[in-house]
Chain A
Amino acid sequence: MTFEAVSYESIPHALISGIAISLLCSVVGLFLVLRKFSLFGDALAHSAFGGVAFGLFIGIYPLWIACGVAILSALGLSKIRQKFDISSDAIVAILLATGLGAGIIFASLADDLDIHDIEEFLFGSATIDTQSVVTILVMAGAILTIIFFTYKKLLYSTFSEEQAKASGISVDKMSYLLITIAGITVIISMQLVGVLLISALFVLPNVSAMLYARSFKQTMILSMSFAMAAVISGIFISYQFDIAQSGCIVLVAAAIFIGSLIAKGSGMVKTAGIQKKTH
């Protein structure tokens, strides 16, 4: 098994794509966290892994197959959830296990499969080529533009489904939009942090930001700052110490979270946001 550290030559590509991905993951992740769907990114990534393995098995560029599989399976399960009273955590577990199971089957069926290809998707890659950087930038720009224009509706349907519906917002359409956006975000982020660590970028910066912020806007700005800090520091730590990039990014994000908890819990920082339990 090979865990890649960033090389000097690949730093610019890793930084540019990393910053775009960090902004995207923190914004999309905030809506997921507030909908109590924190592990949904993880579930999407695992179902995407099934798509990756299928793509490698049939010899088609795996990322686009993964994208289709992740979005369609998430939309399908979301539809099932509307018709049947199945909880969100159960949906996440179904998506996660089925995706991984399918991935293992297809990987085992492919005789000439290079295990390095699978590892890249599982743990992320330190080398992102120019074409991928352009794809990441274009997709991130497109998704952030869509969120900018649907921001109020997405926030309202996240805050209260019932009230949003009663005000004429199509809550189901907003859910489908968020799922699709999350699916694409997962696919383009997989190259940086891999399937297994993707939910860290969705969740950690947002929960850290929620410890400090009073408003939604503050939370979003803080979360984007934390995510960028984690990605940039993670890339440089990976280069400096010759250790795996994805792990470094996630551990820096976790360190920011733990530092925030300590600062808040000890009373060093007194802000609005999630408070320490008093009982």
Chain B
Amino acid sequence: MIVDIEKLSVEYSGIKALDDISFGIAEGDFLGIIGSNGAGKSTLFRCMLGLHTQYDGTIKFFGQDIRDSRKYLSKIGFVPQKPVVDRNFPATIREVLSMSQNTSDSKKVDEALQKVWMHELADRRIGDLSVGQQQRVFIAKALVNSPKILVLDEPVTGIDQYNQDLFFQILGELNTKEKISIIWSSHDLDAVERLANKVACLNKTLFFHGISKEFFSDDEMLKKYSETSMQMHMHNH
């Protein structure tokens, strides 16, 4: 396992956001994390990325507890939920990619941009791009340091269908050709069924983790997912 999560629990002001979550991620996995709003997907990602450190349980990347060292972050590429880019931020796409790079090797930047078909726009301002294009830039940014794992938090929210399809195609290629493990949270069950080989279903607790085909062919499980999503929706409103 390249990621091991054991008995992970998180509370915000006495309210459980995650309750006793345990699962692992193997090398080459394309894991879709599904769950409605408030199910704990973003909290799980925040813990995994060291952005939230107040939790019980352990998270291990490559066999090492992330509380002991932050070096694991150099092997992870993160694509946020929605790129919050100031339209007037004076930076070109090339500059945005170079920010996270440890060296000044522009070849790596060009290669990463080619993988997401954005190399022709390298000298455009980041703020001039559409949200879909910005998300592709952020994948390229995550790829610059040759990550072993890509973590994507609902990356296609608010993106048009054409750019979503393009985005998913890129993810599929990165997983199969580049052998990058992918952890991806989504509301889109169709996309998860189509792309992910594993599924983790969250509802503050983990009520399914396993092979994607097993989940989507199990009517009982799908019914349970639908019911818990409805409960979460009612609870949130």
Binds A, one of B13-21, B85-93, B110-118, B162-170: B85-93
Q: Judge if A2 is at the interface, Cβ distance under 8 Å.
A: no
A162 interface neighbour in B73, B80, B88, Cβ under 8 Å = B80
Q: Judge if A146 is at the interface, Cβ distance under 8 Å.
A: no
Assess whether A160 is in contact with B84, with CB atoms less than 8 Å apart.
Answer: yes
Assess whether A165 is in contact with B89, with CB atoms less than 8 Å apart.
Answer: no
Assess whether A155 is in contact with B99, with CB atoms less than 8 Å apart.
Answer: yes
* Whole-angstrom CA separation of A245 from B99 in the bound complex: 39
Q: Judge if B57 is at the interface, Cβ distance under 8 Å.
A: no
Max chain A Cβ within 10 angstroms of own Cβ: one of B86, B95, B138? B95
Nearest-CB residue, chain B, relative to A214: B125
Assess whether B49 is in contact with A217, with CB atoms less than 8 Å apart.
Answer: no
* Whole-angstrom CA separation of A160 from B100 in the bound complex: 11
Instruction: List A8-65 residues whose CB lies under 8 Å from chain B.
Output: 34
B22 to A: closest C-beta gap in Å: 23
A219 interface neighbour in B73, B90, B128, Cβ under 8 Å = B90
Given contacts A155-B99, A156-B100, contact A166 B88 (CB under 8 A): no
Q: Total A-B pairs in contact (CB under 8 Å)?
A: 71
Assess whether B92 is in contact with A215, with CB atoms less than 8 Å apart.
Answer: yes
B150 to A: closest C-beta gap in Å: 12
Question: Using an 8 Å CB-CB cutoff, how does the interface string of A253-274 with B read, 1 for contact, 0 for none?
Answer: 0000000000000000000111
Instruction: List A171-217 residues whose CB lies under 8 Å from chain B.
Output: 209-210, 213-217
Q: Judge if B234 is at the interface, Cβ distance under 8 Å.
A: no
Q: Judge if B158 is at the interface, Cβ distance under 8 Å.
A: no
Nearest-CB residue, chain B, relative to A218: B90
Assess whether B78 is in contact with A167, with CB atoms less than 8 Å apart.
Answer: yes
Q: Judge if A240 is at the interface, Cβ distance under 8 Å.
A: no
Assess whether B89 is in contact with A34, with CB atoms less than 8 Å apart.
Answer: yes
Assess whether B78 is in contact with A163, with CB atoms less than 8 Å apart.
Answer: yes
B193 to A: closest C-beta gap in Å: 28
Q: Judge if B70 is at the interface, Cβ distance under 8 Å.
A: yes
Given contacts A166-B49, A166-B51, contact A152 B99 (CB under 8 A): yes
Nearest-CB residue, chain A, relative to B86: A34
Q: Would you list 10 pairs from A and B whose C-beta atoms are within 8 A, ordered by A residue? A: A160-B84, A165-B50, A167-B74, A168-B50, A168-B70, A168-B74, A214-B92, A215-B125, A216-B91, A272-B128
* 3 A-B pairs with the lowest CB-CB distances in the bound complex, closest first: A168-B73, A156-B99, A166-B78
Q: Which residues of B contact A (CB under 8 A)?
A: 49-51, 70-71, 73-74, 76, 78, 80, 84, 86, 88-92, 95-96, 98-101, 123, 125, 128, 138, 141, 145, 151
